Homo-oligomer: A and B are copies of this chain.
Amino acid sequence: MPLPSRFKHCPHCGSAVDYRVPADDNRERAICAACDSIHYQNPLNVVGTLPVWEKDGRVLLCRRAIEPRHGLWTLPAGFMELGETTAQGALRETHEEAGADIEMGSLYTLLNVVRVGQIHLFYLARLRSPDFKPGPESLEARLFSESEIPWDEIAFKTTRETLRCFFEDRRAGRGFGLREFDIP
């Protein structure tokens, strides 16, 4: 997942853009040669959950049916959309990818992935049922105990880090305060 590709044309009028530093700014932006509008490109948020079935402490993972990382396991997550909050986006993605019924908890990890211009935000969540209905983006959705986690088949570093922290905090019995990471 590379950085978003640079604008070549103005999304307002379709003319070619130049890259230069606007007045009162300090970095290059795409500026329309015809209509003078300035087009910014900024990092995007990926929002998801770490759903726990509290009866036995197992956590929910989904196996990806799409690229990148087809066939590997991940926490339910996806790009935040306009018109929703971070928590609403995380809940939506959990419904869409796993068909899971959850009660949202607190924000647990914030992971900066500068290389691809993304911020990943994972919320803790409590599963209301152990029954899932994976959506078209998932091959399957199932519960894993800590010893069953397929560490060699985890799709993304942000999922791996969030799971690692969760089991570490749970073993230490110290609660689940926010954890922040920068992913190289």
Chain A residues within 8 Å of B, Cβ to Cβ:
3-5, 7-16, 24, 26-27, 30, 39-45, 66, 79-87, 96, 106-107, 110, 112, 114, 117, 119, 136-137, 177-178, 180, 182
Contacts and interface: CB of A to CB of B under 8 A. Distances in A.
A85 B112 contact: yes
Count identical subunits in the complex.
2
A81 B27 contact: yes
A13 B44 CA distance: 23
A92 to B, nearest CB: 10
A177 B179 CA distance: 11
A35 to B, nearest CB: 11
Contacts of A16: 14
- A interface, over-half SS: loop
Contact of A86 (B9, B26, B119, B136): B119
23 contacts: A3-B82, A4-B82, A7-B11, A8-B12, A10-B11, A11-B39, A14-B14, A14-B15, A24-B66, A24-B136, A41-B82, A42-B44, A42-B82, A43-B45, A45-B119, A80-B119, A83-B114, A85-B114, A85-B182, A86-B112, A87-B180, A107-B110, A177-B178
